[in-house]
Copies of this chain bind each other. A is one copy, B any other.
C-alpha cells in the first residue's frame, strides 16, 4: 500500500475514509464483529455494466480528499449519536474502478437489526449526496461523462 495514495495518511490516523486501493471488504468486515452487536449490516456500492442503457466500461472517482474524509468521519459520528451503534465504518474508493468492484463500503453493527439497517442507509445517503466525491463514467463506445446520482442532478 502506498500511504500517500490514501487520505488521511496511515501514519497519522489508521482510519482511512478515501482509498486509492481496492476496498478491503473482507478485512473491514472482519473488524465489524462485536460482542454487544446482534446485527451487522454491510453495504457495498458496486460498478454496474449499464447506466441508462449505455454500456459502462469502468468508472473513475475523484475526491477533495481532505473535506471528503472529514465529512465521512462526521457522518459516522452523527449516525453513532442518532442510533446505538457498536461499529460504524465507511470508505470510498477513488481512481479507476472496474465493473463489479466496490466504489463505496458502509458497515454498521448494533444490538438490534433495525438500527444497523437504518444507520447504514443514512450513512450511504449522506455520503452520496453531500461528500465531495465525483464519478466519471467511461462507456464502451469510447465516450465519457461526469456522473450524477440521479437525473435531478444532471447538469
Contact = CB atoms under 8 A, between A and B. Distances in A.
Which of A34, A43, A120 has most B Cβ within 10 Å?
A43
A48 B26 CA distance: 21
B100 A45 contact: no
Interface residues of A, number: 32
A124 interface: yes
Given A26-B26, A29-B25, A117-B117, A43 B39 contact: yes
B117 A35 contact: no
Interface string A6-42: 0000000000000000000110010001111111111
Given A35-B100, A38-B45, A40-B44, 19 more contacts: A25-B29, A26-B29, A29-B29, A39-B43, A39-B45, A40-B42, A40-B43, A41-B41, A41-B43, A41-B44, A43-B113, A43-B116, A43-B117, A46-B109, A48-B111, A113-B124, A117-B117, A117-B120, A117-B121
Interface of A: 25-26, 29, 33-50, 99-100, 102, 109, 111, 113, 116-117, 120-121, 124
Among all A-B residue pairs, the 6 with the closest Cβ atoms: A42-B42, A35-B49, A40-B44, A38-B48, A33-B100, A35-B99
